A and B are shown apart, each in its own frame.
Chain A
Amino acid sequence: MQHTRRLFLKGTMAAGTLAIAAGANLLTPGKVLAAWPEKAFTAEKMDTALSELVGGTELIESDKITLKTPDIAENGAVVSVTVRTELPDAESISIYVPVNTSPLTASYELTDKFDGEISGRIKMAETSDVIAVVQAGGKLYSAKREVKVTLGGCGG
């Protein structure tokens, strides 16, 4: 009896190790597929979001990025933003509103097929700068524009 019990224990231990190994294997492909960057989206400060998403906070202002926004947004819940980049090897575009609860609103992972311009609509809590950050060749380039918001679009 003693013998079988020992064997049984050994068996369960081996199975446990296998389960851990399987778990580790499952985690790796998830990282490769670049999962949704939760930490960057839940960050409450723009710098935290930047370092979580693109790994740096040093922004170089660039005239190769064109940011189109309205000067005055009557409704902060819908603010049209267009970003155009002429930077070579652009890898990603991200759009920030520093006064929002989560400053990072959207980020776009680009491919070589991308033609340089993207438009979308974002929410703004109050009057603020809108900042577009383009990651290209390991550096971070930015452009910003102030948008005056008459009615905030985040609380309520």
Chain B
Amino acid sequence: MANDIKIRAWTEGDKANVKAIVFHPMETGLRKDKKTGKKIPAHYITEVVCEHNGNTVLKCNWGPGVSKNPFISFGFKGAKSGDTFTLSWKDNQGKSASQETKIS
């Protein structure tokens, strides 16, 4: 699902700035459903890999302590306009997604 990830990547000199948001519930497993009183099962992203032209520039390990719909912003060196940037994630329920974008 392409709408799960939104990425903006742009250059600033030889550096690229990235802002990305992944739409994900990030359930801790500690919350209770108010209607049923049952615990909502944990569902959170564990790993995020950011790649520039296929080379990993940053790997994130996340736990349930990261907010819902996680947002991330960072920069990396050695990028130019037109390069590809890919963000892929994996969660504790075995789901995963990936999104590729051109750096502007």
**B-binding residues in A (CB < 8 A):** 34, 36-37, 41, 77-79, 97, 100-102, 104-111, 113-123, 153-156
Sorting the interface of chain B by its residue count into under 10, 10 to 19, 20 to 34 or 35 or more gives: 20 to 34
Q: Which residue of B lies closest to A42 (CB)?
A: B63
A-contact bits for B31-73, CB 8 A (1 contact / 0 none) = 1100000000000001100001001111111111111101111
Instruction: Give the chain B neighbours of A34 by CB distance below 8 A.
Output: 59
Instruction: Give the chain A neighbours of B62 by CB distance below 8 A.
Output: 105-106
Instruction: Give the chain A neighbours of B56 by CB distance below 8 A.
Output: 111
**Residue contact A108 to B67, C-beta cutoff 8 Å:** no
**Residue contact A106 to B58, C-beta cutoff 8 Å:** no
**Residue contact B66 to A121, C-beta cutoff 8 Å:** yes
**Chain B interface secondary structure, helix, strand, loop or mixed?**
strand
**Residue contact A105 to B65, C-beta cutoff 8 Å:** yes
**Residue contact A108 to B63, C-beta cutoff 8 Å:** no
Ordered by A's residue number, 23 sampled pairs between the chains whose C-beta atoms are within 8 Å are A36-B47, A41-B63, A41-B64, A77-B68, A104-B63, A106-B65, A107-B60, A108-B58, A108-B59, A109-B61, A110-B58, A113-B57, A113-B76, A114-B58, A115-B15, A116-B75, A120-B66, A120-B71, A121-B66, A122-B65, A123-B67, A154-B65, A156-B31
List which B4-36 residues lie within 8 A (CB) of chain A. 15, 28, 30-32
How many A-B Cβ pairs are below 8 Å?
103
Cα of A77 to Cα of B67 in the assembled complex, Å? 6
User: Given A114-B74, A115-B74, A118-B74 in contact, is the A36-B46 Cβ separation under 8 Å?
Assistant: yes
Instruction: Give the chain A neighbours of B78 by CB distance below 8 A.
Output: 113
